[in-house]
Structure formats: structure tokens, C-alpha cells
Copies of this chain bind each other. A is one copy, B any other.
Amino acid sequence: MLIAYSVEDIHRLVGEGRVEGTAVKPVSSIAALSKAKPGDLAFLGNLKYKADVPGCRASVILVPEDYDGHPTEGQAFIRLPKPSHALARICREVERMLWPKPEPGIHPSAVVQPDAQVDATAHVGPLCVVEAGAQVGPGAVLQAQVYLGRGSRVGQDSWLMPQVTVMEYCVIGRRVRLLSGVVIGGDGFGYDTNSQGVHEKVPQIGRVIIEDDVELGANVTVDRARFNETRVGEGTKVDNLTQIAHNVVIGKNCLVAALVGLSGSTTLEDSVIIGGQAGLAGHIRIGKGSQIGGQSGVIHDLPPESRVRDSPSMPYLVAQKVHILKSRLPELFKRVATLEETAAQLGAAEATPPRRKKGE
């Protein structure tokens, strides 16, 4: 946190509860009960960790109102109706202090074309480039070394971290967060292969639309559409190093983990969750509320509320069985070999009754 809070600061910040004891050391970090040291804030959010409180060395501990222990020497408790809510409030406050919104204005080192429109309340940081016809909305932040291409728009209160690239004619909604290294609007990967085996570029003349409240992780890439648009829906969050190809349409409130590949023209309906390193083929549709496990490979449409895993993907419960059985394949091969021997003996026995009978 890098900021020191007294127990009184924290009490004020939380806005409720009752302080018990005196913290000798100001608090400058947050830690789990079992790992906290003096100078840390800890909290009893889940009663199953209750036994960790008496030995906890944190300077301040947030506990439920009715917690029955007491602080040690030099330690303070804050007794609260909901310690986890109080913690969330503290974290948001710390976040605001550590990342205050930069002052409005255009840094003198930024290169902003005369006909770009930067709102008076927006911040364009050092060494940014804002091209002709681009628009930066009220309260928006281009932190540093950001590239905003010709005719692109950044909506109200969006925040583009250092070294984000938004290519030409793309639209970034409101309250969007683009982490460093994000590339919006690179050309889609489209070629026609001619009779000599040469790949001729198919023009990619569409754009990218990032709706409100989206967050894209570091080094995520979102390609511009061939025609029309590639779209990331409202409230969707995407983790680092994920690839979103041309003409992909992502619905609202999806969660896409890191290193995922979404191929061209694929659609995610709302509230889809995709685990890390999963890959989706092109031109498929994933139904609302579906969940796709990490490292899955999905090559067909999925109905709403699907649960799949594996590559190629299978229903989750099948995949779980298959994974267990797969590791038992050596055993199965042996069992089949044994059966074959048995069958050979039995078959031989069966094939010879006349002779055996004869011998009887």
C-alpha cells in the first residue's frame, strides 16, 4: 500500500464499528491472519479462520461485532457488522489514494492533431499521440505513450494505461479500462490464397467497438472486422494476452481468462466464462451462461448453460470420467490382453469338445 494508516484513519474510513485496543504501529499493508506481521491489517471475514485470530500479529484486525476474543498488547480490533464489507471499503479508498485520477489537460510532450477533440476534463499524458479526428471524452485518461488513431473515440471516464494502441476508427465506450500493451483495431487475419500459393490480403475495413465498463488485460489484442465490427459487450472482462479475432462478437458480462484464442466471427452470448488457454474455432456460437474449462478446444456451437472441457471439448462430467479412465489405459490394455488369452483357451476348449468327449 505504501501509505501508513493509524487505527483512527481506518476507523474513519470504514465509517462504522467500534475500536478496541491501541495499535502501536500504523498499518501499511493487508495480510491473511496467519501471515500478518506488525504493520499489517488483517480481517476475520470467514469464521472458519477464527482460530487464527489469537496468534495473529497484525496491528489492526477487523472482527465481527460479537467476536469473543480481545486484542493483544499493541494491537487493535475494529468490531464491525461485516468485516469483509469494511475491508472492501478500505481497499477502494486505498486504490483511490494510490491511483488518483490525473489532472485534466494535455501534457506538452503529447502530439495531438489540431482537429482531434479532447474534452477539457480529459487527461492526455506525456508522449501520447492523438491523431486527426480522434475524440477523447469527459474525464477520460490517456495515461502515457498511448496511441489513439485517426477517427477513434474514447468515451467518458475510460482509462487507457501506458502504451495502449487504439488504431483508426475504433470506438471505446465509457468507464472502459485498457491495460498496457492492449492493441485495438489491428488488421484481421484474412487472406485469399491464389493459384500460386501466394496469400493475398483481404482488406479489413471494419472497426472495433468496446462497450461500456469493459476491462481488457495487458497485451490483449482485438482485431478490426473485415466489414462491420468486432464487438466486446458491456461489462465483459478479459485477462492478459488473449486474442480476439476479427468479427468476433462478445456479449455482456463475460469473463475470459488469459491466453485464450477466439477465432474469427465467433459469438459469445452473455455471461459466458472461459478458462485460461482455451481456444474457440471460428464461426461458432456459445450459448448464454456457458462455461468452458481451461485449455479446452471448442469447435462446435454450444447451447446455453453448457459446461465443457478438454480438446476437442466434451461435457464436463464426461471429460472428468474420460480423464480418469485415460490414465488407466495401460491397465485396460492388459485386461483386454488377458481376456484374449482366456478367450483363446476357452475357444480352443470349446472348439475341441468332440475330441475331449472322445477321450472321456
Contacts and interface: CB of A to CB of B under 8 A. Distances in A.
A30 B239 contact: no
Contacts of A157: none
A255 interface: yes
Contact of A1 (B94, B183, B202, B205): B205
Nearest to A342: B343
Contacts of A125: 129
Chain A, interface size: which category? Answer: 35 or more
Interface stretch (A11-19, A71-79, A344-352): A344-352
Interface stretch (A44-52, A62-70, A310-318): A310-318
B339 A235 contact: no
Given A219-B221, A321-B329, A350 B347 contact: no
A107 B131 CA distance: 13
A174 to B, nearest CB: 15
Interface string A242-258: 01010000000101011
A243 B259 contact: yes
Contacts of A29: 227-228
A39 interface: no
Interface stretch (A114-122, A134-142, A159-167): A159-167
A251 to B, nearest CB: 11
Given A198-B235, A218-B221, A339-B340, 12 more contacts: A29-B228, A109-B111, A127-B127, A145-B147, A181-B183, A183-B218, A223-B240, A241-B241, A257-B261, A257-B263, A261-B276, A279-B294
Task: Give the 3 A-B CB pairs with smallest separation, nearest first.
Answer: A183-B218, A91-B203, A186-B218
Interface of A: 1-2, 29-31, 88, 91-92, 94-95, 98-99, 107, 109, 111, 125-127, 129, 131, 144-145, 147, 149, 151, 161-163, 165, 167-169, 177, 179-181, 183, 186-187, 189, 191, 197-199, 201-205, 207, 215, 217-219, 221, 223, 227-228, 235, 237, 239-241, 243, 245, 253, 255, 257-259, 261, 263, 270-271, 276-277, 279, 281, 294-295, 297, 311-312, 314, 318, 321-323, 325-330, 332-333, 335-336, 339-340, 342-343, 345-347, 349-350
